């Protein structure tokens, strides 16, 4: 009994020491802003990383975060990826995420979780680079075949992943014509972090984000959108979240911190977009930038 109690205390102690970090790897959009990589972020718990989305530049941004002292984001450690939806700006870095860490000696299969269709996308990427992988594994590099393996999981709402450090819950969000677009709730011993993915106002997000520590949410500038042509007004108002809608969401969720990402400025400044949100939301809110850590 004493032995079991000691193991239990050790287990509890590991949880008590858990340190959860939110790392923004890419806060951009389809606009080719050189200061903002494509959408991607990481939840890092005790040196273990759980990456959300694979926008352009994701692996290099992760390496930059590692160089700045965020353990768990060295390329070799990128072993878990969670995709919110299959829009190109969220998946254009998928092949990079599969192959580059493998070239750099990842020693275990990559686990990818995402909506219906992610298996097809991964399979096509693997077929496209089959010759490259064969040469790297069987040629003079002597690459680790395990690092090139990918296990792909098509998800449904509910708990999609858990280990000794984290539980991850997927929930559907409204993102225009996409039938399968997800947000994620990350639960660790010291934080609850909710990631909206791309969406417009979604009651399911509000239900899953209530009283979280950090809500990471997309937003567009209404001031900027009003200057765009009608087709873009129609598109963005259907697929994305206005400052007024986000304020309504945040007032219901009451996060300790609201972090803006996938910010569509449309010619306005980050400061102006922040003010648009703050007109109707008085809680703590910040503009997210690449390599910010919370």
Instruction: Read off the pLDDT of residues 39-93 as tens digits, 9 standing for 90 and up.
Output: 999 999 999 999 999 999 999 999 999 999 999 999 999 999 999 999 999 999 9
Residues 67 and 162 in one domain: no
Q: Give the list of residues 6+ apart from residue 23 with CB closer than 8 angstroms, or none.
A: 41, 42, 43, 44, 65, 70, 73, 291, 292, 293
Instruction: Flag whether pLDDT at 231 surpasses 60.
Output: yes
Residues 178 and 281 in one domain: yes
Q: Determine the structural domain holding residue 184 and report its residue range.
A: 156-288
Residues 91 and 121 in one domain: yes
pLDDT of residue 18: 73
What average pLDDT does the segment 216-232 reach?
A: 96
Residues 187 and 66 in one domain: no
Gap between the Cα atoms of 259 and 248, Å rounded: 15
Q: Which two tokens stand for residue 181?
A: 């677009």
What average pLDDT does the segment 122-150 reach?
A: 97
Residues 128 and 165 in one domain: no
Residue 229 domain-assigned?
yes
Give the up-direction half-sphere exposure of residue 166: CA atoms within 13 A in the CB hemisphere. Answer: 25
At residue 170, φ and ψ (nearest 5 deg) are: -100, 145
Q: Give the list of residues 6+ apart from residue 168 with CB closer than 8 angstroms, or none.
A: 50, 82, 113, 159, 160, 161, 162, 184, 185, 186, 187
CB 114 within 8 A of CB 91: no
Residue 43 domain-assigned?
yes
Residue 23 domain-assigned?
yes
Residue 195 domain-assigned?
yes
Residues 104 and 186 in one domain: no
Mean pLDDT of the chain: 94
CB 281 within 8 A of CB 242: no
Residues 184 and 96 in one domain: no
- Strand 150-154, strand 214-220: pairing: unpaired
pLDDT of residue 66: 98
pLDDT of residue 17: 65
Residues 149 and 163 in one domain: no
CA 279, chain centre distance (Å): 27
The SS3 assignment for 192 reads strand
- pLDDT class of 235 with cuts at 50, 70, 90: very high
Residue 11 domain-assigned?
no
The CATH number of the domain holding residue 56 is 3.60.15.10
Residue 267 domain-assigned?
yes
Residues 106 and 205 in one domain: no
Number of domains in the chain: 2
Residues 92 and 201 in one domain: no
Q: What is the pTM of this model?
A: 0.93
Residues 55 and 172 in one domain: no
Residues 253 and 268 in one domain: yes
């Amino acid at each position: 009994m004493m032995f079991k109690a000691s193991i239990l205390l050790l287990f509890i102690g590991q949880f008590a020491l858990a340190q959860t970090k939110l790392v923004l790897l890419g806060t951009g959009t389809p606009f080719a802003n050189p200061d903002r990589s494509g959408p991607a972020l990481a939840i890092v718990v005790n040196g273990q990383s759980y990456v959300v989305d694979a926008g352009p530049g994701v692996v290099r941004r992760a390496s930059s975060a590692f160089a700045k002292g965020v353990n768990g984001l060295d390329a070799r450690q990128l072993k878990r990826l969670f995709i919110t939806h299959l829009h190109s700006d969220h998946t254009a870095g998928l092949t990079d995420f599969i192959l580059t860490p493998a070239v750099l000696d990842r020693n275990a299969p990559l686990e990818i979780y995402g909506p219906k269709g992610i298996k097809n996308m991964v399979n096509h990427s693997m077929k496209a680079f089959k010759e490259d992988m064969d040469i790297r594994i069987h040629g003079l590099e002597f690459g680790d075949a395990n690092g090139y393996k990918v296990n792909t999981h098509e998800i449904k709402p509910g708990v999609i992943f858990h280990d000794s450090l984290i539980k991850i819950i997927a929930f559907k969000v409204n993102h225009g014509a996409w039938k399968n677009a997800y947000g994620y709730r990350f639960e660790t011993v010291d934080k609850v972090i909710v990631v909206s993915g791309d969406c417009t106002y979604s009651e399911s997000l509000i239900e899953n984000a209530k009283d979280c520590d950090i809500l990471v949410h997309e937003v567009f500038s209404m001031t900027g959108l009003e200057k765009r042509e009608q087709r873009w007004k129609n598109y963005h108002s259907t697929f994305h979240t206005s400052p007024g809608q986000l304020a309504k969401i945040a007032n219901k969720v009451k996060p300790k911190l609201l972090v803006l990402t996938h910010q569509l400025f449309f010619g306005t400044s980050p400061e102006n977009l922040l003010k648009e949100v703050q007109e109707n939301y008085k809680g703590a809110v910040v503009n997210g930038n690449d390599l910010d850590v919370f």
